[in-house]
Amino acid sequence: MKSEFISNKIRTQRFFAGEMTQQELADKTGVTRQTIVAIENGKYFPTLELSFRIAYVFGKTLEEVFAYKADEDPVLIKLKKSKDKTKPI
Amino acid sequence: MKEPLTFQEKQILVSLFNTLIILVAYSYYLHSKYAAFTDQMLNDLQFLGKAFLMLIPITIVVQVVFLIIFHIVVRIISSEKIPEITDERDKLIELKSIRISHWVFISGFFMAMGSQALGMKPFVMFLALIISGFLAGIVSDIAKFIYYRKGV
């Protein structure tokens, strides 16, 4: 399940952190390397707790590591559509 | 490019293989030991209960033995680090696959109860429970594999 509206810059942040390996990041955040791989590939959305921990390891804020595009969020698009339908003409 | 199998994915395949081995071996054992199934035997609840209970320790022992062998083999032939922790993704995948396997088992349970409600022989109930138990295990492993591979 690949998401288009939530993305992350973990790969870039690892590069700027002296080419930190996925295993090192996994060890510092208390998860497996496979989970880091899945997050980087957009196959898994980490919990808020893990997201904060990853950002903390890089010394960044959540917004600097993770990005959210509200206009591409299917739930918001669906809600907007249903709202438009109920609008009086 | 195809991604290589991760440790968890390999472990799931081993578990799936174990389940299939146990299913075949158990069916063969029951068939060879009780080749002369009499009608009375097939409907003896005590006999069916014993045959069902016997499966539990056998399954546990076989799964543990295979997993130990798998860990040893991975350590010897692969440079991959064996994950020592179960993180949030593993727990989420476990929960999702258990939910699917519960639905499979519950369907089998209802079929088993339905067979009795329709007045079928107790052996039918036993078969429905055994088959749904194995199917639940297989479906759980397949679901886990897909979640690990495709994402959750």
**Is B1 inside a domain boundary?**
no
Average of per-residue pLDDT across B55-60: 89
List, in sequence order, every residue forming a beta bridge with A67; answer none if it has no partner: A7
- Residue A36, domain member (yes or no): yes
Find the largest Cα–Cα distance for chain B: 58
Stretch (H or E) spanning A66: strand A66-68
Chain A residues touching B8 at Cβ < 8 A? 32, 34
Backbone phi and psi for residue B112, each to the nearest 5 degrees, phi listed first = -60, -45
- Chain segment A19-33, per-residue pLDDT in tens: 999 999 999 999 999
| Beta carbons of B88 and A41 less than 8 Å apart | no
Q: Which residues of B89-110 are buried (b: 16+ CB within 10 A; e: fewer)?
A: bbeebeebbeebbeebbeebbe
Residue A64 domain-assigned (yes or no): yes
Q: What average pLDDT does the segment B39-63 reach?
A: 83
Residue linked to tokens 């089998």: B108
How far is the alpha carbon of B69 from chain A, nearest alpha carbon, in Å? 22
pLDDT tens, residue by residue, B18-42: 999 999 988 888 777 766 667 777 7
Sequence-distant (≥ 6) Cβ neighbours of residue B67 within 8 angstroms: B11, B14, B15
Q: Which residues pair with A7 in a beta bridge?
A: A67
Domain that holds residue B58: 7-150
pLDDT, position A86: 78
pLDDT of amino acid B37: 65
The predicted pLDDT at position B1 comes to 58
HSE value, Cβ hemisphere, 13 Å, CA-based, for A31: 25
Which of B67, B121, B152, B1 has the alpha carbon at shortest distance from A44? B152
Within 8 A of A35 by CB-CB distance, chain B residues are 87-90
pLDDT digits (tens, 9 = 90+) for B86-145: 999 999 999 999 999 999 999 999 999 999 999 998 888 988 999 999 999 999 999 999
CATH number at residue A47: 1.10.260.40
% chain A with pLDDT above 90? 74
pLDDT at B138: 95
- Please give the residue range of the domain that contains residue A82: 6-86
Interface test with A, best of B79, B80, B87, B150 (most A CBs within 10 A): B87
* B83 located within any domain: yes
Mutate which: A44, A48, A52, A53, vs B, most B CBs within 10 A: A44
